[in-house]
A and B are shown apart, each in its own frame.
Chain A
Amino acid sequence: MLKEVCWQIGGEQGGGLDSTVEVFNTVASRAGYYVYAYKTFASRIKGGHTDFTTRLSTERVQAPAAGVNLLVTLDQESIDLCARNVYPGAIILADEAINAKLPEGIDAKLLTMPLNKLTLALGNPLMKNNLVLGASAAFLGMPIDGFKTYATTRWGNKGEEFVALIHKSMQEGYDYVVANWPELRLEIEEGDGKERLLMIGNEAAALGALAGGCRTVFSYPITPASEIAESLVKIFPKVGGVAVQMEDELASIVACIGAGFTGARAMTATAGPGISLMQEAMGLAAMTETPVVIVDTQRGGPSTGMPTKQEQSDLMALAYGGHGDSPRIVLAPGSVGELIPMTAEAFNLADNYHCPVLIASDLAIALFQQTVEPEEAKLSSMPQINRGPLANPEELAGLARDVFQRYSKQVNENGVSARSLPGIKNGQFLATGAEHGAFGKVTESAANRVYMMDRRMRRIQNVNTEAVRYFGSENADIVVIGFGTTVGAAKESIAEIEAATGKKAGVLQIRLIYPVPVAQIQAYVKGAKAMVVESNATGQFSFMLKGAGYNPANLYSLLKYDGTLITVEEIRNAAMAVLNGEGQYFVSGGGQGVRKAADPTITLAAQEA
């Protein structure tokens, strides 16, 4: 009996594979398994290779598996591309019709099944996917009934006959495997049957927005962010909100500022190209002290880059982008589940710090399904809506006009003063991107400029949020620092590092990317070696850490920027190299393993000098 198995299916994009995978993952989740599902896909709709991988386990899993146990292939290309990643002795199931050949040197059993023929006999091309599901269930020892039940609820509206055909196809697939390979089984331990949730990060962000009181969304479609607005547009009619597909990101961010100025909670969601377009207006939000929330599902950059590939290379743009000096708060989730309360909290932070709050999600969190524990999605455990300092309408009504100072020097402990909202009598003011005084009126006085600049920047000196989370051994010899998708692999690497080196390891998850919580990082790392793991080419977070005063001599790094996810194995290998004193900076990916590199955060010119 296995504690976990990894199932992969490969074929042509647009062939309905995604719905097959959705069924598989949902049924697995309902059976009480933890699921981590990832995929390779291209920026095209039909054609081209795609593969989906689902790691299911009786314990929480949050990173790609080291290999695949059962690979289902619908074309030779999938075998060529995916067979290299199987565990020794794995099962590769192929359609008989493709005359499958196993590439040389691969230790796996290639089995063929007449999928095409059986599908033809069933009289509906869609049934191929159900045959595959039935066959997979048989190999993995998952009860076929779970699949059938799901089909009944999911496609019940298409008529009894259709559902009966699906059931028949699933059963045929199942029976074929049982009859032909009675000995070959990868049986997984039974799931605990507990009801959990399964969702992608973009859905989690939408849920967080709902819980956080966000009722206005302005965005422009982009991979991998679109599902955030697509989810909210479905949810909003229930709560009276509005999700507008704007004409571009310039409009999206400025619309959020308009709604924020009015007092609503507004959000936009985008990826790197949109972040670039939003920079001018992020300065406007900072200057006018208007709350806005921006989710950035990072993908491969720069420019169009690799729209469907993982990267974490927008950190600099999020923290420091745009012209002039302006405050921002940048958060990063470490899992899909975490994104629900984090997104809700982002609105509280925006309302309390009166500046843009950005969530640095990334493609793998945004688009890959993960199990979410019901506790993580409990409404009662979401942050309470906290509007921050607002002018009191009754108090203002008792005053005359031109008395209320929107940018008053009487600030609270966060460095912000109460804002008035349209509709409040005597609260009228000018919110302008031009430098201004207490009433918002434009002035270029030098003394006022210094006050206003300091006022804006001071607010992010002490951002009240859970900035870091520590996992693993106390008094570690090495602390892996990560954020976003990387956190999952880093956590799983702890045991492997300790087993391989005999030393103690820990993981420090960074939840507050900017302002960099350098003191807290130092407090957790103490004398250990700190290894920053990030998906970008220039070590952006390392650079920010150094800028925040972190001792560069004790900063190690592992970078990957080939578009694939950082794996447990890579983190372990880099940690071993660091602990063995083999080097300070490492890269991985691009078909090669972990290898030494130069300090990427130092410019070439500085190195030559």
Chain B
Amino acid sequence: MATMADFRTSEKSWWCPGCGDFGVLAALQKALVELATEPENVALVAGIGCSGKIGNYINSYNLHVVHGRSLPAAQAVKLANRELTVLAAGGDGDGFAIGMGHYMHALRRNVDITYVVMDNQIYGLTKGQTSPTSDGGFHTKSTPNGNIEKSVNQMQLAIASGCGFVANGLSSNQKQLVQIIKQAIQFPGFALVNTYSPCVTFNKVNTYDFYKSELVNVDEDPTYDRHDKFAAMKMLMEHNELVTGIIYEDPNSTRYEDLVKGFKPEGIVNQKWEVDDETWNKVLAQYK
């Protein structure tokens, strides 16, 4: 069985000391170990950003795509070989600015992948511009007079768009985050794992302390029913998405893969692709 060491790489980290992404990476590795997955059976597709570098630090099959497009690639990886554990990962800009067009559709398509967002409410790699999840009034290099746009509510959006698993973690709360990621991977369909992953260099407002004092943890609330969509929406709205835990889970999720006509349980890559004469002739017959 694989250990933490098996999921680590020798690559020296490019992340700043204290960056939230370290915690997300560690929790992800721990979850994979606890689920008894092997590195060769994990495919991780990452976007562009500081967060997108996560693939450099995890020993798995890693595809580092262009900015904003981790989701289309990750869904296709799963469709090409559904026997794999498929993860997508990236930042708030990657997912909800340039990649927003893909996010919406991955949510409603429900391919069985897990999407881990490292939300630091800022653009890290480009050195501190506003992000779609930045709060109103937030001062950045591109909003010197304060952000005058409203922020994206990615978790409410997910629920509204039919996503069956919506969770949020804090990178420093390892115990909870590991549990969340494990359940997300086991969920039969598209699972959103948003994480607050502080950028210690460019975001001096949304810090570890900020999140610790603001976050409401639904996992610790015995009265909270995660299968209740309306309660989930209310919770997210009331607390401006500063909620952690598994916020919504659909007990009746059906994977996209299970709805594709004629789709087989065996991964496409492991099938024989040669067409037999009978099939070929049947197809040709319509052109006669």
Contacts and interface: CB of A to CB of B under 8 A. Distances in A.
Tell me, yes or no, whether A binds B: yes
Interface of A: 29-30, 195-199, 203, 207, 210-211, 213, 215-216, 218, 235-242, 244, 246-248, 250-252, 254-259, 261-266, 280-281, 283-284, 288, 372, 377, 379, 385, 401-402, 421-434, 440-442
B205 interface: no
Contact of A211 (B39, B260, B269, B280): B280
B73 A257 contact: yes
B116 interface: no
A264 B277 contact: no
A198 to B, nearest CB: 6
Contacts of B45: 258
B268 interface: yes
Contacts of B77: 258-259, 261-262, 422
A250 B68 CA distance: 10
Contact of B277 (A236, A283, A379): A379
Contact of A240 (B61, B81, B271): B271
A46 to B, nearest CB: 27
A343 B135 CA distance: 50
B236 to A, nearest CB: 24
B284 A377 contact: yes
A196 B285 CA distance: 10
A213 B101 contact: no
Interface string B72-116: 111111011101100000000000000001101100010000000
B73 A258 contact: yes
Given A248-B101, A258-B80, A199 B66 contact: no
Contact of A421 (B55, B59, B269): B269
Contacts of A29: 288
Contacts of A199: 287
Contacts of B84: 262, 422-423
Interface string B172-206: 00000000000000000000000000000000000
B101 A250 contact: yes
Given A210-B283, A402-B10, A250 B64 contact: no
Contacts of B284: 197, 207, 377
Given A251-B69, A264-B268, A280-B66, A244 B79 contact: yes
A215 B271 contact: yes
26 contacts: A196-B288, A197-B287, A237-B261, A240-B263, A240-B268, A244-B76, A247-B101, A247-B105, A250-B69, A250-B102, A251-B69, A251-B71, A257-B73, A258-B63, A261-B73, A262-B77, A264-B81, A266-B80, A280-B66, A288-B63, A422-B61, A423-B83, A427-B61, A428-B61, A434-B64, A441-B11
Given A29-B288, A199-B287, A218-B76, 8 more contacts: A242-B79, A242-B260, A244-B76, A258-B65, A262-B80, A423-B41, A428-B61, A432-B63
Nearest to B257: A242
Nearest to A210: B275
A428 B60 contact: yes
B38 interface: yes
A197 B279 CA distance: 16
A203 B76 contact: no
Interface of B: 6, 10-11, 38-43, 45, 55-56, 59-66, 68-69, 71-77, 79-81, 83-84, 101-102, 104-105, 109, 260-264, 267-271, 273-275, 277, 279-280, 282-284, 287-288
A440 B11 CA distance: 11
B104 A238 contact: no
B65 A257 contact: yes
Closest 7 CB pairs of A and B: A237-B262, A258-B73, A213-B273, A258-B76, A264-B80, A432-B64, A251-B72
A341 B103 CA distance: 37
B49 to A, nearest CB: 12
Contact of B274 (A213, A236, A262): A213
A255 B75 contact: yes
B24 to A, nearest CB: 18
B105 A251 contact: yes
B108 to A, nearest CB: 10
A466 B32 CA distance: 48
B112 to A, nearest CB: 13
User: Which of A242, A248, A252, A430: most chain B Cβ within 10 A?
Assistant: A430
Given A258-B75, A423-B40, A263 B269 contact: yes
B79 A422 contact: no
A215 B206 CA distance: 45
B105 A246 contact: yes
Given A247-B104, A250-B69, A425 B38 contact: yes
B279 to A, nearest CB: 5
B287 A198 contact: yes
A27 B64 CA distance: 53
Contacts of A198: 287-288
B275 A239 contact: yes
Contacts of A257: 63, 65, 73, 76
B75 A428 contact: no
A425 B42 CA distance: 11
A215 B273 contact: yes
B73 A254 contact: yes
Contacts of A235: 283
A428 B262 contact: no
User: Which of A30, A207, A236, A254: most chain B Cβ within 10 A?
Assistant: A254
Contact of A281 (B66, B264, B271): B66
Contacts of B42: 422
B244 to A, nearest CB: 30
Contacts of A203: 287
B62 A427 contact: no
B76 A379 contact: no
A541 to B, nearest CB: 29
A385 B274 contact: yes
Contacts of A431: 62-64
Contacts of B41: 422-423
B72 A215 contact: no
B268 A216 contact: yes
B76 A426 contact: no
A259 B80 contact: yes
Nearest to B260: A242
B242 to A, nearest CB: 30
B283 A426 contact: no
